[in-house]
Amino acid sequence: MILTITLNPCIDKSSKVETFKPESKLRCEEVINEPGGGGINVSKALQKLGTASVALFPAGGHNGNMLCSLLREQGILFHAVNTEVETRENWVMLETSSNNQYRFTFPGREVKEETVKTLIDQIRSFAPTFVIASGSLPIGLPDYFYGLIVKNASSVGAKCIVDTSGAALQALKGKHVYLIKPNIGELCKMLNVDWLEKEDIPDAAQQAIQDGFSEIIVVSIGADGAWLVSNEKKYFVQAPSVEKKSTVGAGDSMVAGITYMLQKQRPLRDVIRFGVACGSAATMNEGTALFNKVDTEQLYNLISEQESK
């Protein structure tokens, strides 16, 4: 089974307004509430692909109760550890006159280390085959916490996928994660270099693999696509041209697509094709809606056809 872990979950709230004007009362449309946070988004995306998972996360307060309620409504299996502090929320606002999207990300309150350690210790009880840890760390937690997740996943023979950034990503050096998904800027920080040209990405990713970050690295380059690199393989997939409406959840959708194909034991070339298809499909929907499965399948077929020419 697939276990997703979100150490810093949230309620994603989205709405629309015609124009942003300072010092004015802005008439917004109805608010849409969605369960959010990296791993939770991955669980939502896996459900769209017809694959079950269990979402493991800390939660508390009114927003924590809402988060659990929303997941129940969507039929997503989960296990929440009570934090006794309010779960955070994020806002996404669309200015309809310009089609510009504004994203407001809030930090949330500090969660006790003991609470998160309790959550991580529970990984073993689920006996997962894949553990996906995605998102930022809550305020106050040391950078090494993702390393604890990797250690616990490895202890039950699970392959661990980590999608994070900043110091938490740097702390994974030598932890030998199964797969990580940095962007170019994050890969530069991992290798302590100022800049990488696109053509240098494969060799740089292999250097990071040799440094013990992971066995596989997927380097996202936004609208251009992504590289998948292992010690033996280097695959680039160009992202298809789509009408972009929102980038929220595109990275988590890519991780879900990658995991979906890995679980099916598909070749790595197909893994990255499907991951890019999921990420691109997610940008075609407004707000925090992630992707439509039909769009994903069409984009995957398009990518495969173009690469086979």
> Residue 250's domain is classified under what CATH number?
3.40.1190.20
Q: Tell me what the mean pLDDT of segment 226-231 comes to.
A: 97
The range of the structural domain enclosing residue 191 comes to 2-17+30-303
pLDDT band of residue 74 (cuts 50, 70, 90) is very high
The residue behind tokens 């210790």 is 121
Give the tokens for residue 4: 């997703």
Q: Are strands 100-105 and 225-229 parallel, antiparallel or unpaired?
A: unpaired
Domain count, the chain: 1
Digit-coded pLDDT (tens) for 143-189: 999 999 999 999 999 999 999 999 999 999 999 999 999 999 999 99
The whole-angstrom separation of Cα 80 and Cα 87 is 12
Residue of 222, 295, 208, 296 lying closest to 258 (CA atoms): 296
Q: Does any domain span residue 308? A: no
pLDDT band of residue 309 (cuts 50, 70, 90) is low
The residue behind tokens 């999608």 is 163
Q: Does any domain span residue 25? A: no
Q: How many CB atoms lie within 10 A of CB 7?
A: 26
Within 8 A by CB and 6+ apart from 229, the residues are: 201, 202, 205, 206, 209, 216, 217, 218, 219, 235
Give the tokens for residue 84: 């006794």
Query: Phi then psi for 161, rounded to 5 degrees?
Result: -115, 125
pLDDT band of residue 223 (cuts 50, 70, 90) is confident
Q: Does any domain span residue 267? A: yes
Q: Does any domain span residue 156? A: yes
Within 8 A by CB and 6+ apart from 92, the residues are: 12, 13, 14, 15, 101, 102, 103, 104, 246, 248, 287, 288
Q: Does any domain span residue 181? A: yes
Digit-coded pLDDT (tens) for 93-125: 999 999 898 999 998 889 999 999 999 999 999
The whole-angstrom separation of Cα 207 and Cα 2 is 29
Digit-coded pLDDT (tens) for 255-295: 999 999 999 999 999 999 999 999 999 988 876 678 889 99
Enzyme catalytic residues: 252
Within 8 A by CB and 6+ apart from 72, the residues are: none
Average predicted confidence (pLDDT) for the chain: 94
C-alpha to C-alpha distances, 27 to 10, 33, 92, 235, nearest whole angstrom = 24, 18, 15, 47
Q: What is the pLDDT of residue 227?
A: 97
Q: What is the pLDDT of residue 287?
A: 62
Q: What is the pLDDT of residue 1?
A: 93
The whole-angstrom separation of Cα 71 and Cα 55 is 9
The residue behind tokens 């994660």 is 177
Q: Does any domain span residue 281? A: yes
What global pTM score does this model have? 0.94
The whole-angstrom separation of Cα 244 and Cα 231 is 34
The whole-angstrom separation of Cα 115 and Cα 79 is 13
Q: Does any domain span residue 24? A: no
